[in-house]
Structure 1
Amino acid sequence: MNSKKLHLVSLGCTKNLVDSEVMLGRLKEYEITDDNTQADVIIVNTCGFIDAAKEESINTVLSLHDERKENSILVMSGCLSERYKEELQTDMPEIDIFTGVGDYEKIDELIASKQSTFSPEVYLATETSGRVITGSNYHAYIKIAEGCNQACSFCAIPSFKGKLHSRSLSSIVKEVENLVAQGFYDFSFISQDSSSYGRDMGLKDGLVELIKGVEAIEGVQSARILYLYPSTTTFELVDAISDSEVFQTYYDMPIQHIDDGMLKTMKRGFGEKKTIELLEYMKSKPGAFLRTSVIAGHPGESEESFNRLCDFMETFEFDRFNTFHYSNEETTAAYTMDQVDEETIDQRAQILGEIAEKSTLKSLEKMVGQTVTVAIDGESDEHEYLLSARPLIWAVDIDGEILINDTSDLPVEYGKRYEARVTELVGTQLLATLIKAL
């Protein structure tokens, strides 16, 4: 008998991807297929963060429903189904099984019994979850916590993910050890608010403990921490990251704004002065890479506070930054505030987007002539003769790629590390020559 086929779509963030990989681990007896029309089971792991993501989630589910074969099972899991469980179950009869953010490890049982379920606890993968890593033969995301104790005015996540719930350090270390044994050597540690890791377990500087724990694992060549929060990021943590032999000097700290009044309105816990002190300290570290994100058009953003943000983003020169259009979300503090009109939000986001492009270009220009450690991901989409590589200081998927146009006749293995010299910047694309395998 042919094995049953599974088609899985993971939307939204990398934290969702980890949960999707747990589901794949539970459904190993299914053959994975890219052809949704042939699948016996279709799972969409949804995102419920902002309007655009909600819309994408619903459209994806409906178009997969339209094309699916008879007697297949359509499952909607994740943040959107958790956040709107009552409404969706009423409004979307197309869906066979609804499940939220608490039952990824039970997905095989839910499908077998064709039942919807919403556990009151948020699920957090452990080392025993048996997840199947997708998309890479050397890099994996490690989720270190779920939920968030912050109360940012624009964010609905705590309303459906609950308070901070950290994983034990021993569980994280075990998972990394298991993955190293399978050949993975590069890790990104993620959660909603990584710099608060361990606070619910009484650890004062949990991430510093985590850094030490991961450094002690033989075989980990490279790691980075994503999503630091200004008011829970300490100078000790900035030092620990920069002093580490294993962790990249990579600081990903979404600031959302820089104007004092706006930071108060956004309930960010830190004002302009302290935020800038922290950023300057990160920037002072040798070889530091800084990424952030900002919001355009949050309620209360005057022309003056917007200009203040633009000036800062232009002069500070982040290596990368993302701009989010403010999205008005029910259950958030900003929902009932006086809104900025859509047209203004779009204009502001565009202006910030242009600053971000210039900022990235300056960061890329600085790399020309440098020698960097890269992992080779495969053939480039640009040309079959070029290889796509990622400097290990960059985060997967979000920071871009470097193209290798000269391999110096070295044997090339995908997923392996090489030393490379960055030779030139063509448009927005860096080119490099391989020097040696590592």
Structure 2
Amino acid sequence: MKLVKTKTKKIHILTLGCAKNTVDSEFLQRQLRANQFTISEEINGSDLCIINTCGFIESAKQQSIDTILETVEKKKAGLIQNLFVMGCLSERYHEALKKDIPEVDKYFGSNNLPDILKELGAEYKYELLGERDLSTPSHYAYLKISEGCDNPCSFCAIPIMRGTHKSKPIDEIMKEVVSLSEKNIKELIVIGQDTTYYGLDLYGGRELPSLLKSLSTVNGIEWIRLMYAFPAKFPLEVLDVISDSEKICKYIDIPIQHASDSVLKSMRRGLTRKILSELFNKIRKKIPGIALRTTIITGYPNETEKDFEELITFLKEIEFDRLGVFTYSQEENTSAFGLGDPIPQKVKEERQTYIMDIQKEISYKRNVGRIGKTAKVLIERIENENYIGRTEWDAPEIDNEIIIPKSKHLKIGSFVNAKIVDSLEYDLFGEIVE
């Protein structure tokens, strides 16, 4: 059933999952507005709701399904007229969803923007390439430099949902960044499934260093933050670029997932604990004071107590500044699926909690080490007569914040120098330096 454009005026977009989904929804919203649709902040009363789903792990899939079912009830109650579902979940389980939740008017995959517009009787505006309606706060934006992934990680379903790695051409990225700078964006957060792979498919080499240099030339952009760097075959030239640039944050997010050689081998990560240790030592030697973030999985099928102890030893040795932990989720059609899911959820969660307890101590120690230093701070909001901001060592939503007494008027989205005077495990306290 094709929806007629003249009958569909108000559209509400509901985005679930990661920042990459956020970017997809922002591109969609810009195209819809260019086709004279009205974007509604409220779902109730909309002619159409589009849900952009996540299908990465079990908890994300369940959230997406619950959201679809809740929205179906709104449709039945007449609060919305039509419902589309897009994104990773519907890419991965397209036929099953059509069968199990037929009340949805149309299902789309993860890269179907032109098809969505066509279904609405609209057209893709190629002249708007790189333009988005931002849903993040007005001072930062995510910059997705690629789609899909070529890494063979045994636990991951991303290639199933997003396909093989496809780098976005540098000229397209630069056009997008200029557009973002014209909207007064101060911070770019560089994302992709594997940002260090960038360019290998398009240009025959890893071109992340060149891309970062190019991004640094754009007027108005003051911070560039690198996320989702893959540790295997990490291009060390990136460190030179970060070290030499005042704009690139002294911060790298490098998900390691584990540090036991046997688990890393089964995960098909393409490296060893020794390689990881050498990489992080090189990074800290080249860029003193850099903040390192990583992600861990607990409860992988063949993770023994010995493997877990090796992971703990490694985390104590490296002392990551920032860290996130997921429990293992068995995913269909991944190579690890055949290993089963033998570790009880209770044990997975106990290991997760144990790691976070250790990380709390490490985070506090590293935060205390920054007391007395002066840092550039991006002001994000006002809360209880305090400014809440971030240093270059912290990404939005997932990392620390710095609390600064409101002693003078500061504009949200502006930068200020602050001396760090105290800290907690996950927060810093600062004072404005005149």
When the two structures are superposed, what TM-score results if normalisation uses the length of structure 2?
A: 0.91
In the other structure, the counterpart of 1:82 is 91
Q: Tell me the distance in 2 between the aligned counterparts of 1:140 and 1:191.
A: 14
Q: CA deviation at 1:6?
A: 2.8
Per-residue deviation, residues 400-422 of structure 1 (Å, max 9, x unmatched):
32122143x2x311111111122
1:208-357 to 2 correspondences below 5 Å: 208-284=209-285, 285-338=287-340, 339-357=342-360
In the other structure, the counterpart of 2:49 is 42
Change in CA separation of 1:60 and 1:161 when aligned onto 2, cut-off 3 Å: same
Q: CA deviation at 1:61?
A: 1.3
Per-residue deviation, residues 332-352 of structure 1 (Å, max 9, x unmatched):
111011432222212211211
Q: Tell me the distance in 1 between the aligned counterparts of 2:117 and 2:298.
A: 42
Say whether 1:93 aligns with 2:102.
yes
Per-residue deviation, residues 67-113 of structure 1 (Å, max 9, x unmatched):
34526111111000000111111111121121111212443332348
Q: CA deviation at 1:203?
A: 3.8
Give the residue type in structure 2 aligned to 1:353: M
Q: CA deviation at 1:30?
A: 4.2
Q: CA deviation at 1:13?
A: 0.7
In the other structure, the counterpart of 1:120 is none
Matched-pair contact (CA < 8 Å) for 1:257–1:263 = yes
Say whether 1:157 aligns with 2:164.
no
Change in CA separation of 1:27 and 1:230 when aligned onto 2, cut-off 3 Å: same
Q: CA deviation at 1:48?
A: 0.6
Give the residue type in structure 1 aligned to 2:73: D
Matched-pair contact (CA < 8 Å) for 2:26–2:135 = yes
Q: Tell me the distance in 1 between the aligned counterparts of 2:273 and 2:426.
A: 31
In the other structure, the counterpart of 2:64 is 57
Secondary structure at the aligned position of 1:94 is classed as coil
Q: CA deviation at 1:247?
A: 0.9
Secondary structure at the aligned position of 2:154 is classed as coil
Secondary structure at the aligned position of 1:398 is classed as coil
In the other structure, the counterpart of 2:411 is 413
Q: CA deviation at 1:227?
A: 0.5
Per-residue deviation, residues 14-65 of structure 1 (Å, max 9, x unmatched):
0110001111112224444443222222111100100000000000111122
Q: Tell me the distance in 2 between the aligned counterparts of 1:179 and 1:88.
A: 36
> Which is worse superposed, 93-102 or 24-33?
24-33
Q: Tell me the distance in 1 between the aligned counterparts of 2:373 and 2:114.
A: 45
Change in CA separation of 1:226 and 1:154 when aligned onto 2, cut-off 3 Å: same
RMSD: 2.2
In the other structure, the counterpart of 2:207 is 206
Per-residue deviation, residues 335-392 of structure 1 (Å, max 9, x unmatched):
0114322222122112112122222222322222221111111222xx2x11221113
Matched-pair contact (CA < 8 Å) for 2:257–2:297 = yes
Q: Tell me the distance in 2 between the aligned counterparts of 1:198 and 1:129.
A: 18
> Which is worse superposed, 76-85 or 4-13?
4-13
Secondary structure at the aligned position of 1:333 is classed as coil
In the other structure, the counterpart of 1:142 is 143
Secondary structure at the aligned position of 2:292 is classed as strand
Change in CA separation of 1:127 and 1:267 when aligned onto 2, cut-off 3 Å: farther
Secondary structure at the aligned position of 2:369 is classed as helix
Matched-pair contact (CA < 8 Å) for 1:127–1:172 = no
Per-residue deviation, residues 198-230 of structure 1 (Å, max 9, x unmatched):
000234231011012112222221101111111
- Name structure 2 gaps, 5 residues minimum: 1-5
In the other structure, the counterpart of 1:170 is 171
Matched-pair contact (CA < 8 Å) for 2:188–2:224 = yes
Matched-pair contact (CA < 8 Å) for 2:364–2:423 = no
Give the residue type in structure 2 aligned to 1:258: A
Q: Tell me the distance in 1 between the aligned counterparts of 2:197 and 2:314.
A: 26
Give the residue type in structure 1 aligned to 2:28: M
Q: CA deviation at 1:127?
A: 6.8
Give the residue type in structure 2 aligned to 1:97: K
1:88-127 to 2 correspondences below 5 Å: 88-112=97-121
Matched-pair contact (CA < 8 Å) for 1:423–1:432 = yes
Q: CA deviation at 1:423?
A: 2.0
Q: Tell me the distance in 2 between the aligned counterparts of 1:38 and 1:363.
A: 49
Matched-pair contact (CA < 8 Å) for 1:322–1:356 = no
Per-residue deviation, residues 172-197 of structure 1 (Å, max 9, x unmatched):
11111121122112101110000000
Matched-pair contact (CA < 8 Å) for 2:327–2:349 = yes
Matched-pair contact (CA < 8 Å) for 1:227–1:252 = yes
Change in CA separation of 1:148 and 1:2 when aligned onto 2, cut-off 3 Å: closer
Change in CA separation of 1:234 and 1:213 when aligned onto 2, cut-off 3 Å: same
